[in-house]
Amino acid sequence: MESGLSLAASGLAWVLALVLCRASLHKLTDFYRTVGAALDYGAAPEAWVPRLVRLLGIVEAGCVLALIVPASRPFAGMVAAILFAVYALLMARVLRQGRVQIDCGCGGAPQPISGLSLLRNGVLTGAGVAVALLPVAATGPLGAILGLLCGLTLFASYALLEKFASHLPQIRQVRHDLSRGSMQWNT
């Protein structure tokens, strides 16, 4: 039983590491776009935002490394949970203000924040808490490979869902146009 829980923690740790790796790379390689997205949130004084974006990118990169090492996984899981919870709170604040045309700044395809963004961050927060609380046990090379494969599979699913979510505004617009009769199919 404990080895199964440890394997689950390993898979979750890997998916969190991959999500945070992409987020960190986005902050460090597409710095100005990320700063622009962060400024839209209005959560910090404008002069602080570039430094905060760099700091968050570094914290995320450190968390990635700590999630890969089993001994530091519980701490890294809690750090990841805190990061995703803070991001979710910032998104909720902006949504409550009625500002929905803001890019989430999550990396990957641009997508406006929405209830789906909050749900995603809630799930990632829960995954971080699970990694922090689930037992860490030696799983051997086969267990490590299985954990990695599980993480890769979850990350691929995550990436597909995120790509779909990035197209939701266009899908909604097409549905709206079709319902009004302002768009017709060419056959």
pLDDT 10s digits, 11-29: 899 999 999 999 999 998 9
Which helix (H) or strand (E) segment is 179 a member of?
A: helix 168-180
Q: Is residue 162 part of a domain?
A: yes
- The total number of structural domains in the chain stands at 1
Burial 100-123 (b: 16+ CB within 10 A, else e): eebbbbbbbeebbbbebbbebbee
Q: Is residue 50 part of a domain?
A: yes
Contact (CB, 8 A) for 48 and 42:
no
Determine the pLDDT at residue 187: 56
DSSP result, 84-100 = HHHHHHHHHHHHHTT--
Domain with 153 in it: 2-180
Calpha distance 174→172 (Å, rounded)? 5
Is pLDDT of 184 > 70? no
Q: Is residue 145 part of a domain?
A: yes
Q: Is 81 exposed, middle or buried (0-12, 13-18, 19+ CB in 10 A)?
A: buried
Determine the pLDDT at residue 182: 66
Q: Is 127 exposed, middle or buried (0-12, 13-18, 19+ CB in 10 A)?
A: buried
Determine the pLDDT at residue 90: 93
Q: Is residue 185 part of a domain?
A: no
Query: Could you report the per-residue pLDDT of 108-157, keeping only the tens digit for each?
Result: 667 788 888 899 999 999 999 999 999 877 677 777 777 777 877 887 88
Q: Is residue 94 part of a domain?
A: yes
Strand partners, 103: 112
Query: Could you report the per-residue pLDDT of 32-72, keeping only the tens digit for each?
Result: 989 998 998 988 999 999 999 999 999 999 999 999 998 99
Is pLDDT of 172 > 80? no
Q: Is residue 170 part of a domain?
A: yes
Determine the pLDDT at residue 178: 74
Output 67 or 186, whichever has higher pLDDT: 67
Q: Is residue 135 part of a domain?
A: yes
Q: How many residues does the chain have?
A: 187
Q: Is residue 25 part of a domain?
A: yes
Mean pLDDT on 100-111: 75
